[in-house]
């Protein structure tokens, strides 16, 4: 594990594809800082599909820079194999918080949940709209779950693990791709193997939202295919039917995320965050609320991190949230190429990037082919067929004032319609000739009788 640039300190966790350790940077821009270092598991390092997913993750997160997406710092290869270095988030997953609160029979505060979900929605919106190399990548996370939302003891909220993200700009045929993710958090269209867009991630975030409010699993059954059937066919109950005291407007927001019909869901993560604005803590207190609930829920984990890092965690002031991702930072270094068909002999790009983001993979994501899902679930229906009634959105509140307001500017005039072109003379003559011939034939037939 030891490289000339990073010194491992403690293991953070082991996921389906890699192990993540806490390490200290020995050189470079992050020298002296703690980072999270992810390595492919040795027995998977030579698997082409695993390698492709790893390189895709490096490519995707290196193109993003947003306060609610964990950042990448470095990547490369040494004698122990390929590695990815990410920003270390001193905290835990939303899944761990939910489990801790469930064991203590203490529901999470609704303002805390609204803040975490709004931050995750803004992070996903940044991923969905990020551009690199002069084009929009069209990223769909595909594995949004409580395990992939990190909540920091400093009040930060980060979306992590883009290892199975789909890059729509490649134009790959989704019907031939393996379905990846956790069935209980997949959208109906993802389970069916249909083409995906960013609204699939918003459905998954809706499941995370529902479970955080109720401390219950939304879709739970004896096996994954039964779970898939529930996701496609069963309408969820309102969270207020499970937990008393939830505002009806919050119910409507959750159920809108969980609409089976794509057109009834939120248009993007930013719209969802705006609807959640009335339920979030005051802007000046958001980091403090998140940090307080997280430390109170996971006191042993919080104490362990402080003891390992030998530092007292502070709560930095929350910066203004970025609704649009910044363009890719200009650099002489190029992004690592994520090949469509990676092979074990693919050579990694040797470079050191400016700070970006990333985090651990908590658990292996079950996979199934689209053909298997169709065989178990029957013939797929149209993904746009209405299955729920449209729900009104809660009153929307802007997160930040829009720059360059155009309220006082004159509205642009409507574009003029092009004048209709006269019919071609040749076409007219041909039509008249055809009519004359038909009339002549009819006359001959009648005369012969």
Which residues belong to the active site?
A: 143
3-state per-residue secondary structure call for the chain = CCCCCEEEEEEEEECCCEEEEEEEECCCCCCCCEEEEEEECHHHCCCHHHHHHHHHHHHHHHCCCCCCECEEEEEEEECCEEEEEEECCCEEEHHHHHHHHHHHCCCCCHHHHHHHHHHHHHHHHHHHHCEECCEECCEECCCCCHHHEEEECCCCEEECCCCCCEEHHHCCCHHHCEEECCHHHCCHHHHHCCCCCHHHHHHHHHHHHHHHHHCCCCCCCCCHHHHHHHHHHCCCCCHHHCCCCCCHHHHHHHHHHCCCCHHHCCCCHHHHHHHHHHHCCCHHHHHHHHHHHHHHHCHHHHHHHHHHHCCCCCCCCCCCCCCCCCCCCCCCCCCCCCCCCCCCCCCCCCECCCCCECCCCCCCCCEEEHHHHHHHHCCCCCCCCCCCCCCCCCCCCCCCCCCCCCCCCCCCCCCCCCCCCCCCHHHHHHHHHHHHHHHHHHHHHHHHC
Residue in 220, 215, 214, 222 with CA at minimum distance from that of residue 250: 214
Handedness of CA 146, 152, 274, 110 (dihedral sign): positive
Distance CA 187, CA 12 (A): 29
**Torsions phi, psi for 411 (to 5 deg):** -70, 140
């Amino acid at each position: 594990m030891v490289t000339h640039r990073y010194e491992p300190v403690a293991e953070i966790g082991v996921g389906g594809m890699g192990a993540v350790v806490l390490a200290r940077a020995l050189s470079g821009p992050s020298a002296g800082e703690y980072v999270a270092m992810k390595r492919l598991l040795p027995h998977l390092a030579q698997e082409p599909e695993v390698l492709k997913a790893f390189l895709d993750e490096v490519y995707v997160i290196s193109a993003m820079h947003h306060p609610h997406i964990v950042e990448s710092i470095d990547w490369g290869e040494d004698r122990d194999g390929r590695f990815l270095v990410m920003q270390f988030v001193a905290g835990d997953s939303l899944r761990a918080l939910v489990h801790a609160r469930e064991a203590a029979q203490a529901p999470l505060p609704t303002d805390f949940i609204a803040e975490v979900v709004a931050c995750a929605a803004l992070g996903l919106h940044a991923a969905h709209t990020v551009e690199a190399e002069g084009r929009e990548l069209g990223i769909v996370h595909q594995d949004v779950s409580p395990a992939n939302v990190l909540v920091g003891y400093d009040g930060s909220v980060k979306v992590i693990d883009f290892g199975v993200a789909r890059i729509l700009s490649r134009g790959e045929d989704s019907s031939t791709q393996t379905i990846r993710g956790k069935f209980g958090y997949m959208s109906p269209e993802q389970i069916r193997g249909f083409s995906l867009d960013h609204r699939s991630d918003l459905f998954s975030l809706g499941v995370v939202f529902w479970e955080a409010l109720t401390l219950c699993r939304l879709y739970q059954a004896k096996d994954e295919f039964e779970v898939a059937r529930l996701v496609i066919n069963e309408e969820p109950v309102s969270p207020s039917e499970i937990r008393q005291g939830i505002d009806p407007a919050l119910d409507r927001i959750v159920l809108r995320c969980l609409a089976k019909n794509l057109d009834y869901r939120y248009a993007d993560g930013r719209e969802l965050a705006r609807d959640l604005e009335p339920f979030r803590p005051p802007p000046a207190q958001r980091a403090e609320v998140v940090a307080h609930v997280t430390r109170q829920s996971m006191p042993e984990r919080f104490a362990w991190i402080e003891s390992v890092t030998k530092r007292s965690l502070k709560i930095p002031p929350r910066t203004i949230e970025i609704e649009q991702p910044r363009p890719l930072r200009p650099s002489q270094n190029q992004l690592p190429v994520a090949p469509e068909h990676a092979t074990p002999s693919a050579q990694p790009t040797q470079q050191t990037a400016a700070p970006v983001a990333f985090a651990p993979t908590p658990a292996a994501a079950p996979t199934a082919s689209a053909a298997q899902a169709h065989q178990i679930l029957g013939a797929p229906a149209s993904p746009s067929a209405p299955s729920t009634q449209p729900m009104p959105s809660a009153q929307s509140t802007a997160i930040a004032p829009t720059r360059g307001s155009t309220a006082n500017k004159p509205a642009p005039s409507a574009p003029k319609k092009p004048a209709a072109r006269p019919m071609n003379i040749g076409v007219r003559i041909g039509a008249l000739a055809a009519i004359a011939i038909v009339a002549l034939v009819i006359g001959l037939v009648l005369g012969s009788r």
